[in-house]
Amino acid sequence: MKIVIIDYGLGNLRSIEKALEYVGADVEISKDISVIDCADALVLPGVGAFRDAMMHFATLERVVKDAVDEGKPLLGICLGMQMLASQSEEGGLHRGIDIIPGRVIRFPASELKVPHMGWNSLIIKKNIPLLKGIDNGSFVYFVHSYHISTDAEYGAALCDYGIRFPAVITNEAGNVAGTQFHPEKSGAVGLKMLLNFVESYGH
């Protein structure tokens, strides 16, 4: 299975590439539409502001949505997961890719620090391929100020940080998954998820 990490100008691409290579993936970083179109599976990473990400992503959006419609697997990571939503309130109201119905919103004001940064545990709600062999309560690494608000049916795993928010999402067809945390920074648990993506979604 050929995995292409989508290079739209934002995100720590090398770290996710190294993690995927570590679990045995055939992986390439590319912003070339023809390369993305020929991939067996796609990874959409991201670090930074939602508006900037969507502006940079504009020329690649159609090929990615077509790939998803064809049933190809897509994994969104951190900001890449948030981009899958319908819209975001970060820096004003901005349109997302709209693969997962929902809105990206900021954590409410509380005594908790924002951004939500560090290790936190997962509350697993759905048995999806990405979470195969992952124990309920497993810890993963987060860095984010915004989170997706969506219907419960799209939340495969949740996390508590003042409120309960989706930490892993999936679409109705099951070929799209997103992690609000960074699997490439989440030790053995994160590497297991990436291995699951390579093994389970490609067959």
| Residue 78 bears catalytic tag | yes
| Residue 94 bears catalytic tag | no
Active-site entry in 28, 61, 78, 90: 78
| Residue 21 bears catalytic tag | no
Query: What distance in Å separates the CA atoms of residue 61 and residue 195, rounded to the nearest whole number?
Result: 26
Task: Tell the burial category of 111 from Cβ atoms under 10 Å away from its Cβ (0-12, 13-18, 19+).
Answer: exposed
Number of helices (H), then strands (E), belonging to the chain: the values are 6, 14
Question: In which residue are the tokens 């997302």 written?
Answer: 96
Query: What distance in Å separates the CA atoms of residue 84 and residue 63, rounded to the nearest whole number?
Result: 14
Active-site entry in 94, 144, 147, 182: 182
Active-site entry in 90, 144, 147, 184: 184
Among candidate residues 192, 189, 148, the one with its CA nearest the CA of residue 170: 148
Hey, which residues are catalytic here?
A: 78, 182, 184
